[in-house]
Structure 1
Amino acid sequence: MSRWRYFLKRLLLSIPVLFLVMTVIFVVLRMGPLDPVAAMLGPEGAGADAQAIREQLGLNEPLWKQYIDFVTNLITFQLGQSWVLHPNREVTTLIRLFGPRTLWLGFWAILLPLFIGIPLGFYAGLNPNSWGDYVASFSGIVWLAMPNFWLAIMLLTVLRRTDGGGWFGFDWYTFGPDTGSLIGSPPLDFADITSSIDLGLVSIPTGISFEWMTLAAAIKIILPAAVVLGSASMASELRIGRTAVLETINSNYVETAKAKGLSNRVIVWKHVFRNALIPLLPIITNEAFLLIGGSVIVEQVFNINGIGKLFFQAAVQGDLPLAGSLIFFFTLIIIGLNILQDLLYTVLDPRVGYDQ
C-alpha cells in the first residue's frame, strides 16, 4: 500500500467519527434542556418574536430536515452565529478574533516541553543513577502531580509577591517590558507586513518588521500561562524520554555499533536518539489535545481571551451553537493530528508498515 493510499484510508476511517460528533452536537442543541429561542430572547420574549426566530432558525421544520441542514452547514464551515455571548456574530469571525491568542499560548506551551523536557529526559537516560538523573526524575514526578488549575493559582501568587524584590530578587512587574498586570491578553500586533506577493487566493509576505518591545511584552504575559499549560507535557516527555533512552542504549544494534568501533557521539545521535523519539511521538502530538482541554482552564485563570475561554463562557452561559461549533472545530484538529501522527510513524520508524 502506498503512502497516499494509506492517507486516504485514514481519512475515510475518520468520517464516521466526525459524523458521530456532529450527531451528538445536534442532539444536545435540539433535544437538550436549553431552548434556543429562550436563550436568545430571554424569559420575557414575546410570542410573536419567539415564533419569528423559530422560523428563522428552521426549528419548525421536521427533525430529519433540521439534521441534514445542520450537518451540511458544519461540513461547509457555515458554523452559524452566537446566541448569547456575541449575538448575531458569525462563529468563524469569533475564531479568527480569539484564535491567534490561543495559538500564541500553544506555541510557547509546546516549545517549552520540547526544549526542556526531552533534553532532560535524554540526559537522565544517558546518565542513569546519577545525581542529575535523580533530580530530573524527581522534578518530573512533582510537575506531573500538580494539576493545572492549582499550579496556575500558585504561580500567580508567587509572581505577585515579587513586587519590590520578593523571593527571587527581582520584580516581575518591572522585569523587562512593563506590562502593568500579570493577567490579560498578550498584544499580538508586534509584526507588520511591509511587502507581500499576491497569488490570487493567498498572499505570501516577503517583508516583515517587528516591534521588539511589543514582542517582549507578548512573551512576558504569555510565559506564566505557557509554563502551566506545558508542565504536564514537560514531565511526561522527561520520564518517557528517559525510559526510551535506557531501553534503546541496551539494545542489540547499539551493542553491534559499539563492536564496530563507532564513536559514542555517532552511536548516540544516529542510533539512540532517533529510536528514542518513536515512543515520544504520540506524547508530542498529544500536546495539542492538552491545549484544547487545558487552555480552557489556563485561559480562564490568566484572563486570556482565547478560544479556550470563549468555549468556557459559551458552555456556562448556554450559548450552545457557539460551544457546539467550537467542539466541531476541536474535533477536526484532533482527527487531523491523529492522521499526521500515523504518517510520522511511518517516516520515523521504517519498521511500521502501512498495512499495520
Structure 2
Amino acid sequence: MSRWTYFAKRLVLAIPVILFGTSLTFFIIYAGPVDPATAILGQKATPERIRQVHEQLGLNQPLWEQYAEFLVDMFTFNLGNSWVVQPNTPAYEVIMNFAPRTILMGAWAVLLPLFIGIPLGFYAGLNPNTLGDYSASFGGIVWRAMPNFWLAVMLMMVLSQSEKFLFGFNWENFVVSTNVAGSPRMSNLWNFENFLRASKLVLPASLVLGSASMGNEMRIGRTAFLEVKNSNYVEMARAKGLPGRTIVWKHIFRNALIPLIPVITAEAGVLVGGSVLVETVFGINGIGWLFYTAVMSGDLPLSGALMFLFILLLVGLNILQDFLYTVVDPRVGFESEG
C-alpha cells in the first residue's frame, strides 16, 4: 500500500482512541467533587441560587444528554466558554493566552535533552570504558534518578542564592536581568532581548522537565551506539576501507537513533503531566497551571477542552512516531497488498 493509505488507516484507527479518551474525560470531570455553581457563587451560594446556576449551565439535564453534547462540541471544536477561571470567555481564547509560555518551555525541554543527552550518549558509546564514558553514564543515572518535584525545589533554591552556591555567579543578572521565577512576557518575541528574557525565565523549568528524558536519551543512546558499532554491517564497512567518519555518520549514527524515537516522542507525555507541578513551582502560569486551576475550581468546559487537546496531542505524536520510524529506518516499510 502507499504511504498515504498507511497513514490514512492510522488516522482512522486513532478515532476510537480519541473517542474513548474523551468519554473517560467527561465522566471523570463531571463526576468530580467540585460543584461549578458553588465555585461561581462563592460565599453567595444558596440552594436556590445553586439550582438557578445549574439550570443556566445545563447541569440539571440527564447525564447522557450532557455526554452527547460534550462529545459533539469536542469533535466539532466548539470548546465552549470558561465558567470560573475567566467567566464568559471562550475556552479557546483562554487557552491561547496561556499556551505560548508552555510551548516555549516545552521547546527548550525537548531541545536540551536532544543537544545534551544524545550527543553525550553517543560520545560514551564511541569511547567505551574511558573517563568520558564513565562520567557521561554516571551523569545519565543521576539525571534519571532525580524526581522532578525535588529537582525543581533544589534548582529554585540554588538559583535564588546563586552567588552563595555558585561561587559568586549571579543568575538573575546573567545575560539579561530577570527574576529567578515568574511568568514570562510573551509579547513581541521577535525582539531578541525579549526572547532571551522569556527563555531565561523558563529555562530552569525546562531543565527540570527534560531531566528524565536527558538521562534516558543518554543511556539508551550509549547502548544503541555500542550495539550498532559492533554489528555485522559496520564490520563490513570497515573491511571495505570506508573512512571512520563515514562509518560513524552514515552507518552508526542513523541506526542508533531508531530506539531513541519513542523516547523523544514520549517526552510530550512528560511535558503534559509534569508541567502542572513545574509551572506551579516556578510560577510560569502556562497550560499546566491553567489545567490545575480549571480542575480545582470546577471549570468543566475549560478543563474538558484542555484534556481533549492533550489527547489529540498524544495521539498525533504516536502517528508522528510511526512516520519517523519509516524515515530513519529504511528497513521499516508498509504492508504489501494482496
TM-score range, shorter chain: over 0.9
Q: How far, CA to CA, are the matches of 1:134 and 1:92 in structure 2?
A: 48
Q: Could you say if the C-alpha distance between residues 31 and 147 of structure 1 is closer, same or farther in structure 2, counting changes exceeding 3 Å? A: closer
Q: Is the 8 A contact 1:282 1:341 kept in 2?
A: yes
Q: Which residue of 1 aligns with 2:237?
A: 257
Q: How far, CA to CA, are the matches of 1:182 and 1:32 in structure 2?
A: 35
TM-score, structure 2 normalization? 0.94
Q: CA deviation at 1:51?
A: 4.1
Residue 351 (structure 1) aligned to one of 315, 324, 331: 331
Q: Is the 8 A contact 1:29 1:321 kept in 2?
A: no
Q: How far, CA to CA, are the matches of 2:133 and 2:13 in structure 1?
A: 42
| 1:219-298 paired onto structure 2 within 5 Å | 219-298=199-278
Q: Which residue of 2 aligns with 1:182?
A: 180
Q: Which residue of 2 aligns with 1:336?
A: 316
Letter in 2 for 1:314: A
Q: Which residue of 2 aligns with 1:5?
A: 5
1:147 aligns with 2:147: yes
Q: CA deviation at 1:63?
A: 3.0
Q: Is the 8 A contact 1:187 1:218 kept in 2?
A: yes
Q: How far, CA to CA, are the matches of 1:63 and 1:318 in structure 2?
A: 17
1:158 aligns with 2:138: no
1:170 aligns with 2:169: yes
Q: Is the 8 A contact 1:190 1:212 kept in 2?
A: no
Letter in 2 for 1:14: A
5+ residue gaps, structure 2: none
Q: Which residue of 2 aligns with 1:195?
A: none
Q: CA deviation at 1:43?
A: 6.2
Q: Deviations over 1:116-164 (max 9, x none)?
A: 110000000000001000000000000100011110111111112224x
Q: How far, CA to CA, are the matches of 2:104 and 2:83 in structure 1?
A: 27
Q: Deviations over 1:288-333 (max 9, x none)?
A: 1111111111111000010011112222333333222211110010
Of the two structures, which has the highest relative contact order with CA contacts closer than 8 Å and spacing of 6 or more? 2
Letter in 2 for 1:325: A
Q: How far, CA to CA, are the matches of 2:79 and 2:334 in structure 1?
A: 35
1:213 aligns with 2:193: yes
Letter in 2 for 1:349: D
Q: How far, CA to CA, are the matches of 1:216 and 1:14 in structure 2?
A: 38
Q: Is the 8 A contact 2:34 2:296 kept in 1?
A: no
Q: How far, CA to CA, are the matches of 1:310 and 1:177 in structure 2?
A: 28
Q: Deviations over 1:205-248 (max 9, x none)?
A: xxxxx433222212221211111111111111000000000000
| Secondary structure at 1:64 match in 2 | helix
Q: Could you say if the C-alpha distance between residues 31 and 317 of structure 1 is closer, same or farther in structure 2, counting changes exceeding 3 Å? A: closer
Q: Could you say if the C-alpha distance between residues 189 and 279 of structure 1 is closer, same or farther in structure 2, counting changes exceeding 3 Å? A: same
Q: Deviations over 1:143-199 (max 9, x none)?
A: 100011110111111112224x653332112222111x21111222243xxxxxxxx
Q: Which residue of 2 aligns with 1:23?
A: 23
Q: How far, CA to CA, are the matches of 1:32 and 1:145 in structure 2?
A: 33
Q: Which moved more, 1:223-232 or 1:270-279?
A: 223-232
Q: Which moved more, 1:56-65 or 1:228-237?
A: 56-65
| 1:82-161 paired onto structure 2 within 5 Å | 82-161=82-161
| Larger helix proportion of the pair | 2
Q: How far, CA to CA, are the matches of 1:123 and 1:29 in structure 2?
A: 47
| Larger strand proportion of the pair | 1
| Secondary structure at 2:167 match in 1 | coil
Q: Is the 8 A contact 2:34 2:297 kept in 1?
A: no
Q: Is the 8 A contact 1:241 1:280 kept in 2?
A: yes
1:324 aligns with 2:294: no
Q: Which residue of 2 aligns with 1:68?
A: 68
Q: CA deviation at 1:47?
A: 5.2
| 1:296-315 paired onto structure 2 within 5 Å | 296-315=276-295
Q: Is the 8 A contact 2:30 2:300 kept in 1?
A: no
Q: CA deviation at 1:46?
A: 4.5
Q: Could you say if the C-alpha distance between residues 30 and 218 of structure 1 is closer, same or farther in structure 2, counting changes exceeding 3 Å? A: closer
Letter in 2 for 1:170: F
| Secondary structure at 1:86 match in 2 | coil
Letter in 1 for 2:145: A
5+ residue gaps, structure 1: 192-209
Letter in 2 for 1:341: Q
Report the identity percentage.
58
Q: Deviations over 1:43-72 (max 9, x none)?
A: 643555444433332334333322221101
| Secondary structure at 2:202 match in 1 | helix
Q: How far, CA to CA, are the matches of 1:30 and 1:305 in structure 2?
A: 24
| Secondary structure at 2:306 match in 1 | helix
Q: How far, CA to CA, are the matches of 1:72 and 1:54 in structure 2?
A: 21
TM-score, structure 1 normalization? 0.89
Q: CA deviation at 1:264?
A: 0.5
Q: Could you say if the C-alpha distance between residues 63 and 223 of structure 1 is closer, same or farther in structure 2, counting changes exceeding 3 Å? A: closer
Letter in 2 for 1:271: H
Size of the aligned set, in residue pairs, is 336
